[in-house]
């Protein structure tokens, strides 16, 4: 283990700890003394029927999703008990950066989206005693987890909202994720993941960050100089001040742990590779939400899967922030997303 002050409660807020013991993984290994860290907002009612689960995206923590929670908002803590579960590799739950030898750093085992969801099920069902979730929703890797929930535990959720994500990673998406993993590994100090300080790998992190500057947004974002609307003076200024600033505090092993999960996300594992059969298992009222101009999870990829899901609707968030529309940099994205969540919660189950 090594110290990284980014992965602390001073930065990400107070978390509760769900102890999982020696947690067996889908790929065959075990994480000893495994921990799932999580947050909650609101209060679970006596019937335990007001719970919403909101897993977070790649590179994020539970704090990342708190911007959508608030009184008078669709995710209102006065009405709902909102659970924000971490995921393995996020630097707070069991991760390469905080796990003891011999499972530390570059030796941390491969974990899957399924492992995250099984751990979350333990939290929801075993710890809280919740048998039905009002909704599960998530963005990007949070969408992958939402799909996994809907297929693995179809009787557990009434509604599902998947923002900018797919149930099965596409070949294009797989190659993209592998590329930004390799950018981190290209740092001369990476040492197969056995560096002592993540800051020593800042060259790889900057290369990785630049790839996100390309694929995380879209052509029109740069053509129309949208970066200038939030105070940046040039593309280079935006790259350093926005993307590098976001990624440099993070740990490369943690990012790659989550990336491996991302590029192996596939609910059709439950149905011998038949994606249609897997998606037809979904019983939740489902909104599949695409971000316009998203180059990671394009509208057509989202729509392709949506057509296989019973009782589903396709919605689009229009934004030049593309995949990162969920950051809600402007009120335009926030208002559209709030409207979609409101509409889904108003759907009769």
- Active-site position among 41, 103, 180, 323: 323
In angstroms, the CA 139 to CA 264 distance is: 17
Options 59, 94, 97, 140, the catalytic residue: 140
- ∠ Cα 178 141 91 (to 5°): 85
Is 294 part of the annotated catalytic residue set? yes
**C-alpha span between 59 and 57 (Å, rounded):** 6
Token pair in block for residue 154: 């179809």
Q: Is 202 among the residues known to form the active site? A: no
Report strand pairing: 16-24 vs 30-41. antiparallel
Which of 109, 245, 247, 254 has its CA nearest to residue 195? 254
**What phi, psi does 14 have (nearest 5°)?**
-70, 135
Which one of 294, 301, 312, 338 is the catalytic residue?
294
- CA distance readout (Å), 210 to 181, 193, 203, 207, 250: 12, 21, 11, 5, 15
- 116 counts as catalytic: no
User: How many CA atoms lie within 13 Å of 22's alpha carbon, on the beta-carbon side?
Assistant: 3
Q: Catalytic residue numbers?
A: 140, 294, 323
């Amino acid at each position: 283990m090594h110290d990284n002050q980014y992965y602390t409660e001073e930065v990400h807020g107070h978390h509760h700890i769900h102890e999982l013991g020696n947690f067996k993984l889908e790929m065959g290994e075990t994480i000893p003394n495994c921990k799932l860290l999580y947050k909650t907002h609101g209060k679970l009612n006596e019937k335990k029927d007001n719970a919403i689960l909101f897993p977070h995206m790649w590179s994020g923590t539970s704090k990342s999703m708190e911007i959508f929670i608030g009184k008078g908002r669709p995710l209102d803590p006065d009405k709902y008990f909102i659970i924000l579960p971490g995921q393995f590799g996020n630097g707070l739950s069991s991760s390469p950066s905080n796990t003891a030898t011999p499972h530390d750093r570059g030796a941390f085992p491969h974990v899957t989206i399924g492992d995250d969801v099984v751990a979350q099920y333990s939290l929801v069902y075993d710890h809280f005693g919740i048998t039905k979730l009002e909704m599960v929703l998530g963005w990007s890797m949070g969408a992958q987890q939402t799909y996994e929930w809907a297929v693995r535990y179809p009787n557990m959720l009434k509604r599902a909202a998947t923002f900018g994500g797919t149930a099965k990673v596409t070949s294009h998406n797989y190659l993209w994720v592998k590329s930004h993993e390799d950018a981190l590994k290209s740092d001369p100090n990476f040492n197969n993941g056995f560096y002592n300080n993540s800051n020593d790998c800042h060259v790889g992190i900057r290369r990785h960050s630049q790839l996100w500057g390309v694929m995380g947004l879209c052509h029109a974002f740069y053509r129309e100089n949208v970066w200038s609307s939030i105070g940046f003076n040039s593309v280079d200024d935006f790259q350093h001040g926005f993307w590098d600033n976001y990624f440099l505090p993070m740990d490369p092993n943690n990012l790659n742990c989550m990336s491996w999960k991302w590029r192996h996300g596939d609910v059709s594992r439950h149905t011998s590779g038949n994606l249609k059969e897997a998606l037809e298992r979904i019983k939740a009222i489902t909104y599949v939400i695409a971000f316009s101009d998203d180059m990671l999870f394009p509208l057509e990829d989202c729509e392709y899967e949506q057509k296989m899901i019973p009782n589903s609707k396709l919605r689009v968030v229009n934004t030049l922030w593309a995949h990162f529309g969920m950051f809600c940099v402007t009120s335009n994205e926030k208002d559209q997303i709030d409207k979609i969540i409101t509409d889904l919660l108003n759907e009769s189950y």
